[in-house]
C-alpha cells in the first residue's frame, strides 16, 4: 500500500444511522468552513461546517467515532491513538475545496494531534448530487472517490487532495484525522497484512505464532 495507500470501507454506518445523522444536521447551526482551514487552504475552501461546539453536533461526532472504533478493519488499518475533532461539512451548488494539504498538527496547544491519516465518511447518497468527488493525488496519479452514504475512505494525510465543485444537490460528509500508534505507513501496512492473514487462519499453532510476531512488532514500532 505505502504512502499512496487508500482504504475504502462499505457500510460503516447502517442506513438508519445515516438517516438519523442527516435529520440532526438539517437542524444544525452551520458556519463558514473557512474558519477551520489553515492560511493556504482557506483561500481555496468554500463550504459550510456544522458548529462543533454545539452539544448535539458533539454528540453526533461521538456517535460516529464510536462506530469507527467498533469497525475491526478500520481499527486494524488505522491503529488510532488519538483523534481530531470530527467535523461535518456541507457542499451546495458551486461549492468546492481546491487542492490542498491538511495541517500536520491539529488541535489546541497542549493537545495536538499528529495527523497520520485522514478520512471522509460520506453521508449523502451519490445519486442526490452531482460533482463533489474527493480527489486524492499520488505518484500513481489521481483517484476520485464518491461513495454510497455510510461508506468511507481513509488515506494518508500528507497527500494533496480536493473536493470537486458540486453542481447540483447537496453533499454531506463527516471528516476527521487520526494519530496512529504506528507512525510509519509501511509499518502500518505490514501489521494490516498480518491482521488480514490472521483472519484467514484457523485456531492453532500458526495463528498463535502470528499473534506473537504481531505483538512483538507492536512493541517495536508502537508509540503510546
Whole-angstrom Cα distance, residue 21 to residue 77?
25
Read off the pTM. Answer: 0.93
* pLDDT computed for residue 2 by the predictor: 45
3-state secondary structure (DSSP) of residue 119: strand
β-bridge pairing 161-163 and 134-138:
antiparallel
Is 100 in contact with 41 (CB distance < 8 Å)?
yes
Section 210-224 average pLDDT: 95
Residue 71 phi/psi, 5° resolution?
-80, 115
**Per-residue burial over 59-92, b = 16 or more CB atoms within 10 Å of its CB, e = otherwise:** ebbebbbebbeebebbebbbbbbbbbbbbbbbbe
In this predicted structure, the answer to whether residue 1 has a pLDDT above a threshold of 90 is no
In three-state secondary structure terms, 155 is strand
User: What is the mean predicted confidence (pLDDT) over 153-173?
Assistant: 97
Query: What is the predicted pLDDT for the residue at 4?
Result: 56
pLDDT in tens, 20-57: 999 999 999 999 988 887 777 788 999 999 999 999 99
Amino acid at each position: 500500500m505505502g504512502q499512496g495507500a487508500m482504504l475504502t470501507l462499505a457500510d460503516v454506518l447502517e442506513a438508519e444511522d445515516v438517516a438519523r445523522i442527516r435529520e440532526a444536521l438539517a437542524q444544525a447551526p452551520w458556519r463558514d468552513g473557512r474558519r477551520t482551514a489553515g492560511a493556504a487552504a482557506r483561500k481555496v475552501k468554500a463550504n459550510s461546517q456544522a458548529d462543533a461546539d454545539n452539544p448535539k453536533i458533539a454528540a453526533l461526532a461521538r456517535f460516529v467515532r464510536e462506530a469507527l472504533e467498533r469497525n475491526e478493519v478500520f481499527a486494524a488499518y488505522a491503529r488510532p491513538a488519538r483523534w481530531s475533532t470530527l467535523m461535518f461539512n456541507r457542499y451546495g451548488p458551486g461549492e468546492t475545496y481546491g487542492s490542498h494539504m491538511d495541517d500536520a498538527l491539529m488541535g489546541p496547544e497542549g493537545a495536538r494531534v499528529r495527523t497520520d491519516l485522514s478520512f471522509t465518511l460520506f453521508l449523502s447518497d451519490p445519486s442526490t448530487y452531482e460533482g463533489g468527488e474527493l480527489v486524492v493525488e499520488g505518484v500513481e496519479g489521481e483517484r476520485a472517490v464518491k461513495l454510497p452514504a455510510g461508506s468511507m475512505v481513509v488515506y494518508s494525510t500528507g497527500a494533496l487532495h480536493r473536493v470537486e465543485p458540486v453542481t447540483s444537490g447537496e453533499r454531506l460528509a463527516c471528516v476527521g484525522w487520526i494519530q496512529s500508534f504506528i507512525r510509519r505507513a509501511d509499518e502500518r501496512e505490514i501489521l494490516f497484512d498480518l491482521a488480514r492473514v490472521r483472519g484467514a487462519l484457523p485456531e492453532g499453532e500458526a495463528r498463535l505464532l502470528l499473534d506473537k510476531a504481531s505483538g512483538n512488532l507492536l512493541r517495536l514500532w508502537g508509540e503510546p
